[in-house]
Amino acid sequence: MNAQSRIFIAGHRGMVGSALVREFEAHGYRNLVTRGHDLLDLTDQRAVRAFFADERIDVVLLAAARVGGILANSMKPATFIYENLAIETNVIDAAYRAGVERLVFFGSSCIYPKLCPQPILESYLMSSALEPTNEPYAIAKIAGLKLCEAYNRQHGTRYVALMPTNLYGPNDNYDPASSHVLPALIRKAHEAKLANAPALTIWGTGVPRREFMHVDDLASATRFVLEQALNDGVYNVGVGTDLTIHELAQHVAQIVGFKGELIFDRSKPDGTPRKLLDVSRLAQRGWHATIGLTEGLRAVYAQYAAQHPILDAVSNG
């Protein structure tokens, strides 16, 4: 891969895809190819094959996906498994048919079993049962990485799979019906502060532990993998440390400036008890995350607060 390589970033408007655009542009890559959903529906096999036939792509970064938190996954399991399977199979197969030798597939730490040992090694994949609340999404992502493995073995492609931990950053999803835990906490704490609310209610017990990484670190790891010619396999991408949801909520409240009480709704699901990735495989090859949680959260909240200076209910009269 070189600065002139034509790199297709699938999902460039999302949090991961936009971070990839920033990262590669900042390091001199000028032939970035993007298509919004309005121009290319990645669930449409015929359209995807036509795109690859026309565009002469050298590298694919497959960041397009249907994503969401516990609520979204529980409400639309068929949508999550179907759309992700369709995107993965269409893009990976069309890339191979068009002669694309390099591809990075982005999975998720939810591919690992609910109760596997911690920290989680890549080898723990499919060793026991998945977390039921996001099983359809996880199965789709497992299928995607297995597609990469199969095409490498049968066709000699160089398709690698990255499994990031929980991500946050610019262009995150703050919709209360479909967001993940961190952006949901940021929005709730911000709105509670603006409303001078005495308390903030959070789903679950607060006991589960989670690891969080700024999306720009994932983009950095992606460029590292391609430039260092790591051509196959699965790599965890994370920071190597975690904290409880309660600790995270306290941290967010402090940064946002919300001084009320934190109340945990124990009637809501917790999800997996702990998800801490073992990141030694990529670390041994020379890559480490560099953005600390406090630093990252301050930057993300500053951006969010600037875009939401008042409550929607107030702004609507």
Structure tokens at 151: 């095409």
242 marked among binding-site residues: no
16 marked among binding-site residues: yes
Spatial distance between the Cα atoms of 301 and 187, rounded to a whole number of angstroms: 9
Spatial distance between the Cα atoms of 153 and 40, rounded to a whole number of angstroms: 29
292 marked among binding-site residues: no
Under the banding of pLDDT at 50, 70 and 90, the label for residue 314 is very low
User: Class for domain 7-172+212-240+275-291, per CATH?
Assistant: alpha beta
> Phi and psi (nearest 5°) for 162?
-110, 130
Contact 230, 105 (CB under 8 A): no
Does the pLDDT at position 203 exceed 50? yes
Q: What would the pLDDT profile of 92-130 be if each residue is shown by its tens digit? A: 999 999 999 999 999 999 999 999 999 999 999 999 999
165 marked among binding-site residues: yes
Distant-in-sequence, close-in-space partners of 53: CB < 8 Å, separation ≥ 6: 98
Q: What would the pLDDT profile of 253-293 be if each residue is shown by its tens digit? A: 999 999 999 999 999 988 888 999 999 999 999 999 999 99
The CATH number fitting domain 181-207+243-272+297-311, selected from 3.20.20.80, 1.10.10.60, 3.90.25.10, 3.40.50.970: 3.90.25.10
Mean pLDDT, to the nearest integer, of 236-256?
A: 97
Q: Which of 137, 151, 159, 168 is catalytic?
A: 137
Residue recorded with tokens 């406090």: 294
In the chain, where are the structural domains located? 7-172+212-240+275-291, 181-207+243-272+297-311
Q: How many helices (H) and strands (E) does the chain have?
A: 11, 13
Q: Tell me which of 78-87, 154-163, 305-314 is least confident.
A: 305-314
Spatial distance between the Cα atoms of 261 and 102, rounded to a whole number of angstroms: 50
Residue recorded with tokens 């597609």: 147
Residue recorded with tokens 């020379």: 286
Beta bridge partners of 163: 236
CB atoms within 10 A of CB 317: 4
141 marked among binding-site residues: yes
Asked if 137 is an active-site residue, the reply is yes
Q: What would the pLDDT profile of 3-54 be if each residue is shown by its tens digit? A: 999 999 999 999 999 999 999 999 999 999 999 999 999 999 999 999 999 9
Spatial distance between the Cα atoms of 84 and 198, rounded to a whole number of angstroms: 40
Contact 253, 200 (CB under 8 A): yes
How far is CA 132 from its chain centroid?
19
309 marked among binding-site residues: no
Spatial distance between the Cα atoms of 141 and 130, rounded to a whole number of angstroms: 12
213 marked among binding-site residues: no
